[in-house]
Amino acid sequence: MGWHAYLALWCVVLGAVAVVGYGRSLAGVTRGQRAVRVMGRIERVTEPRHGSSGREGIAVVVTFRDPATGQEFTVTNDGECGDRISTAWTGREVGIRYPPGRPHAYQFTTDPDAGRSGLGRPNFAVFLIYVGLVVVASIDWGWPWALIGFGVPWTLLSATYLPRAVRDTRLRIEGLASGDPVPGRVIAVLKDVTVDEDSGTATRHTPVVAFTTHDGTAVTAYRTTGLSDPARSRGRELTIHYRPDDPAVFTTDLAAEHRSRVGEIAFAVGSLLVGVAAAVAGGVLIAG
């Protein structure tokens, strides 16, 4: 069996996966589509204990109502139950997802709409087919086709991503700068020690910031970036800029946000240029 036959097999198998996936998505029977998605409400926030682990997120008590039965459930984020809750305040809405009829298998989610279309798996199968075809084209017709195969879709993706990145960072900065800052404080520093056979012991420190917004919302949040010497930051007084409509978006350093905005846009532009350069170089080499 020649290697072209293996490629054909690769395409057939993945094509079947894709067709089945798209069919299931059209029929609305994928796990993501069947999942029940509701918004829960944080009823209680427990202040993290200094030195404890940050892996399980801020301890919260959440209530939600199952739309099928109307029954209300009170749950906590104990153990493995979806996305980590790293910013919390009483009254905050959090996404909850669970299989139909099984509210006890609830999972917290930061993006309640994630996976709603059920197209992730078939799209990935199509991507793998595309990779296989690009590899074949590169071997059969020459490596410049790899540049084309990579550059063209990369450029299209970057061109889509760039305007959105610019808009999102602009809105974020505007939101953060729109209100008066409030005082905040590092109330605890969480510590997670992991042992790796290669790199030895690694310790990660996660400062926990608490602040109260102008409307009286007491926010508790992990702050993984932007604080110098996080291990000894407990008790440090901070100035918090937050978005009035969503205190989960906050910063302790507005100037750093501006710098990171420039960095993000530069990254998006650089990414676009890499794609264009690859596609152009591939085209020139093929034409030459």
Partner 1 sequence: MTITPAPPSAPPTRSTPLDLARVVLTGAVIGSSLAALVVGTVLGHVSLLVGGLVLPIAHGLLVLAAGAPERARRRAIVPCTTLARIEGLHATGGETSDVPVRFDLTVAPDGRPAYRVESTQSVNLVDLADYEPGGIVVVQYPPHQPWAVKLVKRPTPEWEDRAASARINSAPGPALTAKPPPDGSVGGYLTLLALLLGAAAVVFAFRADLFGPEGPADRPPSAAGPADPGTSSTTIVSAASGTVALGPGQSLFDGGRLRLAVDSLTQGDGRNRQALTVVAQDRLLTVVFTPAGSQAPGFDLDALPYPRIPALVREARTTLGVRSPQTWQLTAESLSGALTLRVGVAGADGAASLEANGHGEIVRRVPAR
105 binds partner 1 (CB under 8 A): yes
Give all strands of the β-sheet with 246-251 in edge-to-edge order: 87-88, 218-222, 200-212, 182-196, 237-243, 246-251
**Interaction between residue 142 and partner 1 (CB under 8 A):** no
Interface residue with partner 1, options 76, 107, 109, 213 (CB under 8 A): 76
For residue 269, the minimal CB distance to partner 1 (Å) is: 39
Judged by CB under 8 A, the number of residues near partner 1 is 31
Helix H or strand E segment including 188: strand 182-196
CB of residue 120 vs partner 1: minimum separation in angstroms? 18
Please identify, using beta-carbon distances, which residue of 53 and 260 lies nearer to partner 1: 53
Neighbours of 199 (CB within 10 A): 8
HSE-CB at 44 with a 13 A cutoff on CA atoms is 7
Q: At what angle do helices 120-141 and 3-27 cross, to 10 degrees?
A: 160
| Four-point Cα dihedral 243, 107, 42, 192, nearest 10 | -70
**Contact between 231 and partner 1 per CB under 8 A:** no
Q: Which stretch binds partner 1 (CB under 8 A): 71-79, 215-223, 237-245, 265-273?
A: 71-79
Residue 116 beta carbon to partner 1: minimum distance, rounded to whole angstroms: 21
Two structure tokens written together for 252: 């302790």
96 contacts 85 by C-beta, under 8 angstroms: no
Q: Which is nearer to partner 1, 205 or 241 (CB)?
A: 205
Q: What angle do CA 16, 115, 154 make, to 5 degrees?
A: 70
Region binding partner 1 by CB under 8 A among candidate stretches 42-50, 217-225, 229-237, 257-265: 42-50
Q: Does position 44 bind partner 1 by CB under 8 A?
A: yes
Q: How far is CA 254 from the centre of its chain?
A: 22
Q: Which is nearer to partner 1, 198 or 237 (CB)?
A: 198
Rule CB under 8 A: is residue 33 a binding residue for partner 1?
Answer: no
By residue count, the chain amounts to 288
* Beta carbon nearer to partner 1, 70 or 79: 79
Q: Is 107 in the site for partner 1 (CB under 8 A)?
A: no
* Span from 44-52, 111-119, 162-170, 255-263 in contact with partner 1 (CB under 8 A): 44-52
In angstroms, the Cα distances linking 147 to 86, 154, 284 are 41, 10, 10
Which residues of this chain interact with partner 1, rule CB under 8 A? 1-3, 6, 44, 46, 49-53, 56, 59, 61, 74-79, 99, 101-102, 104-105, 191-195, 201
